Amino acid sequence: MKKGFLGIILHAHLPYVRHPEHESFFEENWLFEAITECYIPLIGVLDRLQKDSVNYRLTLSLSPPLISMLRDDLLQSRYLKYLHRLLELAEKEIIRTRKQPEFQKLARLYRRFFQNTLNTYQDQYHCDLLTAFNKHHNAGTLELITCAATHGFLPLLNVSETAVRNQINMGINTFASNLGFLPSGFWLPECAYYPGLETLLAEAGIKYFFVDTHGIMDASQSPRNGVYAPMDCGNGVLAFARDPESSRQVWSSHEGYPGDFDYREYYRDIGFDLELDYIAPYILDGEIRINTGIKYHRVTGNDMPKEIYNPKKALAKAHLHAQDFINKRQQQIDALSATMDRMPIMVAPYDAELFGHWWFEGPHWLERVLRLASENTNSVQTISCSDYLKQQSSHQVATPSASTWGDQGYYSYWINETNDWIYPFLHKAEADMEKLASDLQGLAVSPLQTRALNQAARSILLAQASDWPFIMKSGTTIDYANKRITDHLARFNYLHDCIRKNRINERYLTALEIMDNIFPDIDFRDYNPSKKRLPT
Amino acid sequence: MTFPYSRYNPQIKLSPEEMLEISQEINREFAPAFSIKKPEPASQHKLSPKELFEISEEIRLNFAPKASNNTQELVLLPVDPEHLYAYWNLDDDKLNTTPKKDSENQLTLRIYPEANKNTDISKTKSWFDVAIDSTQSQLNVFLSMRAHETAYRASIGNRFPDNSLAPFAHSNITHVPLGKTMLNQLMLNQLMLNQLKESQTVFKSMPQFITASQEISIFTHFGASGQGNN
């Protein structure tokens, strides 16, 4: 008998990385790697579960930049080139490893994997992965939700309510125009919540969102059911909290499953291991070593030479870890249901890109978890938050506490000595945009001016992405993050100047429209603080 | 393949491969699609990647963000329960007339906790000062009074020996997180642990090799998320 719910939420997001001004661009590989290792394997999981009529529920948050990139013709064609090169490399690896049978077996596995990826992407889904996700949404097994337009870190944009409103509404509009329906749920970028945000979410028609554990534990009223029941923020919008136990088991750097010795090691890639002459055609500019996606080793163990990867053993371990995960959820549910006045829900949100990209076996683990939960031998039932809310109509009313799911639990990862310089510029650009929109209220605006104004609004949104301060703090690709935020602010400054002086160079405007082609339905008038337009 | 019991023309013979191809073509061409409008640049402007790059570089060089110098402003941002962040812009003439840190008038950021309805005002000091120098334009402020308040506003200006302030700019009100977390988290974990200890049948039967490994690859994100509060 089912006694409690498990809500697994995957948040899929990448910053908008698309560079038509270059013939090829390294950071576009972020998308290509995620499609190959995460999104297509995830679709494979969903397709297999559907084929086997498994009764499961899963929630997937698709960020608007990711939605836009998955639908983009240029990136679709570049992804196909990327895949063909991977296949070519796998073929070369089969030849190179002909005297190393264990390695050659893996090289063949990679060729099969890339070929299946190509078949799924090109033949089965015609380069349109959103259709694949939508198919499962329509089947009622996958709930699709979205997040803010460019994953803006909302508490630090909240100097202007209009900025936050546009991040929310543009995100929802992008989702709706590509997926065909309005989402019920909203993923707050970085789970970053501040009291009052629920008002704008309600205005946009959102029914629920997620916060980290302490968002509920530190709420204005002590939570009667801990984090195992959502809270009504007082306006009918529900906040679900992350269950720390299920998070830790998967994500913790100390205890998490992905670090198991049998799993594939992410950091041993032939892009770094093989002779430069051989690997040059598949790395950056023929000389800068990068991950290729072909990896032959397993995590192994502390300070030990990395051993060769054994896929069968890794798969078996993923199944054991899935069983362990379900067993622990069952123990939680058994304990909680004895004390709660309702069936507990354990909310387990993860970055989607963990599954398959960082944790190669993650999709298998997820599939196994969903299959196990569907069996009648345990008390765990997977559920989407929308389905939960249909079953449970009364909720404790309280205001969650400001929080994020990031390091230290608050905002310091996104505002510190590495990235604080961006906020005066972001706020100034937003204020300038709002002033422009206000000044033009009631005035006739030519089609060319409208294009320039809309492009200025796109530049603001792209500059506001939380990814840039995140990268600055994490220290990974700082130069790129600096360049992106500087570029978008400069593009905004340029357009603002042109509009104010009424000297718009259409050639330059066109170039910016080609380079930053996100949000085709944007309307600069939404930046007029006196005007509130709801998602349509 | 023929269809003898159907109304189809038996003269048309189709292999399964041909039917699949037709089906896929129709799907490709006519599947219902939602609006995926892209901004339509004027067709007369055909721009090569090189031209796009040159325009991008020109704009970046000539319109890079610069510090505002024509507005007087002071902005507060929340950071965590113990910190808020302040940045400001002041007129150059104000800064030039402001005495240095060690003279008797001091450029000062004065932080005012905003009493909430549950606060005993008598226990709340009405403000605290942070001395700043005229070369600064931002500051991470430690909140020594956090036990009582979560909302703050501030003014920036010249403080005189009698503690009065001649303000140049006033801030927005900002709310920092409450931050009872650690205590609550520990209590929650202890509660869960006790509950798990009481129902150990499955727990004990776990094979040893399932327990967490000692080594994990450190995930460095490719620009996505800050998930890491564990």
User: A96-143 pLDDT, tens per residue?
Assistant: 999 999 999 999 999 999 999 999 999 999 999 999 999 999 999 999
pLDDT score of B75: 97
A251 part of contact set with chain B, CB < 8 Å: yes
> Which range among A260-264, B14-18, B163-167 shows the weakest confidence by mean pLDDT?
B14-18
Q: How far is CA B95 from CA A345, B91, B99, in A?
A: 57, 6, 8
pLDDT score of B66: 86
- Residue A121 domain flag: no
pLDDT category at A301 given cuts 50, 70, 90 is confident
Task: Please check whether residues A133 and A223 belong to one and the same domain.
Answer: yes
- Chain A residues with CB inside 8 Å of B28's CB? 126
Q: What is the mean pLDDT of residues B175-202?
A: 53
- Chain B residues with CB inside 8 Å of A195's CB? 175
Please indicate whether, in this complex, the C-beta atoms of A301 and B214 are within 8 angstroms of each other.
yes
A409 part of contact set with chain B, CB < 8 Å: yes
A52 part of contact set with chain B, CB < 8 Å: no
Instruction: Report the domain count for chain A.
Output: 2
Q: What is the mean pLDDT of residues B166-172?
A: 94
pLDDT category at B133 given cuts 50, 70, 90 is confident
Please indicate whether, in this complex, the C-beta atoms of B213 and A260 are within 8 angstroms of each other.
yes
Q: HSE of A313 in the Cβ direction (CA atoms, 13 Å)?
A: 14
In the structure encoding, which two tokens stand for residue B136, read together?
A: 């600064």
Task: Please check whether residues A329 and A230 belong to one and the same domain.
Answer: yes
pLDDT at residue A404 above 90? yes
pLDDT score of A109: 97
Question: Helix, strand, or coil here: A50?
Answer: helix
pLDDT tens, A455-512? 999 999 999 999 999 999 999 899 999 999 999 999 999 999 999 999 999 999 999 9
- Chain A residues with CB inside 8 Å of B24's CB? 123, 126
- Chain A residues with CB inside 8 Å of B35's CB? 177, 520-521
pLDDT at residue A229 above 60? yes
- Chain B residues with CB inside 8 Å of A34's CB? 222
Q: Mean pLDDT of all residues in chain A?
A: 95
pLDDT score of A373: 96
Please indicate whether, in this complex, the C-beta atoms of B37 and A520 are within 8 angstroms of each other.
yes
Please indicate whether, in this complex, the C-beta atoms of B202 and A327 are within 8 angstroms of each other.
yes
- Residue A272 domain flag: no
pLDDT tens, A27-68? 999 999 999 999 999 999 999 999 999 999 999 999 999 999
A 119-178 residues inside an 8 A Cβ radius of B: 123, 126, 131, 155-156, 159, 177-178
A404 part of contact set with chain B, CB < 8 Å: yes
> Which range among A237-246, A398-407, A420-429, A525-534 shows the weakest confidence by mean pLDDT?
A525-534
pLDDT score of A270: 97
Q: Mean pLDDT of all residues in chain B?
A: 69
Task: Please check whether residues A471 and A381 belong to one and the same domain.
Answer: no
Please indicate whether, in this complex, the C-beta atoms of B219 and A466 are within 8 angstroms of each other.
no
Task: Please check whether residues A317 and A465 belong to one and the same domain.
Answer: no
Q: What is the mean pLDDT of residues A508-527?
A: 96
> Which range among A436-440, A481-485, B29-33 shows the weakest confidence by mean pLDDT?
B29-33
Q: What is the mean pLDDT of residues B32-45?
A: 54
Please indicate whether, in this complex, the C-beta atoms of B138 and A412 are within 8 angstroms of each other.
no
pLDDT at residue B82 above 70? yes
Residue after which a domain boundary falls, among A413, A436, A468: A413
Q: How far is CA A406 from CA A145, A211, A403, in A?
A: 21, 11, 9
- Residue A77 domain flag: no
Q: What is the mean pLDDT of residues B42-70?
A: 86
**Contact criterion met (CB below 8 Å) for A357 and A404:** no
Please name the residue that has the structure tokens 């812009």.
Answer: B89
pLDDT score of B201: 30
Task: Please check whether residues A360 and A493 belong to one and the same domain.
Answer: no
A277 part of contact set with chain B, CB < 8 Å: no
Residue after which a domain boundary falls, among A383, A413, A443: A413
Task: Please check whether residues A316 and A393 belong to one and the same domain.
Answer: yes
Q: What is the mean pLDDT of residues A74-87?
A: 97
Among B28, B51, B61, B63, most A C-beta atoms within 10 A, so best to mutate, is B63
pLDDT category at B230 given cuts 50, 70, 90 is very low
pLDDT at residue A535 above 80? no
Q: What is the mean pLDDT of residues A240-248?
A: 93
Strands B106-114 and B151-159: antiparallel
Percent share of chain B, pLDDT over 70: 50
pLDDT score of B99: 55
Please indicate whether, in this complex, the C-beta atoms of B195 and A247 are within 8 angstroms of each other.
no
Nearest to A21 among B27, B53, B78 (CB): B53
Percent share of chain A, pLDDT over 90: 93
pLDDT at residue B124 above 60? no
Please indicate whether, in this complex, the C-beta atoms of B55 and A508 are within 8 angstroms of each other.
yes
pLDDT at residue A280 above 80? yes
Please indicate whether, in this complex, the C-beta atoms of A23 and B49 are within 8 angstroms of each other.
yes
Distance CA A305, CA A405 (A): 34
The H or E element that residue A524 is part of is none
A205 part of contact set with chain B, CB < 8 Å: no
The H or E element that residue A350 is part of is strand A345-351
pLDDT score of B24: 61
List alpha helices for B4-45, DSSP H.
16-30
Residue with more model confidence, A378 or A99 = A99
pLDDT at residue A156 above 50? yes
pLDDT score of B134: 83
Residue after which a domain boundary falls, among A413, A433, A458: A413
Between chain A and chain B, the number of residue pairs with CB atoms below 8 A apart is 307
Strands B138-142 and B128-131: unpaired
pLDDT category at B207 given cuts 50, 70, 90 is very low
Q: How far is CA B225 from CA A66, A191, A280, in A?
A: 13, 10, 31
Task: Please check whether residues A445 and A316 belong to one and the same domain.
Answer: no
Please give the class, per CATH, of domain B73-175. mainly beta
Task: Please check whether residues A482 and A368 belong to one and the same domain.
Answer: no
Going by C-alpha positions, the residue among A381, A14, A396 that lies closest to residue A241 is: A396
Q: Domain of residue A378: give its range.
A: 35-71+128-258+312-413
A100 part of contact set with chain B, CB < 8 Å: no
Q: What is the mean pLDDT of residues B138-149?
A: 77
Q: How far is CA B37 from CA A7, A68, A222, B41, in A?
A: 34, 11, 47, 12
- Chain B residues with CB inside 8 Å of A424's CB? 67-68, 75, 87, 89, 137-138
pLDDT at residue B3 above 70? no
Nearest to A253 among B52, B59, B216 (CB): B216
In the structure encoding, which two tokens stand for residue A304, read together?
A: 């030990």
**pTM of the predicted model, to two decimals?**
0.88
CATH number at residue A237: 3.20.110.10
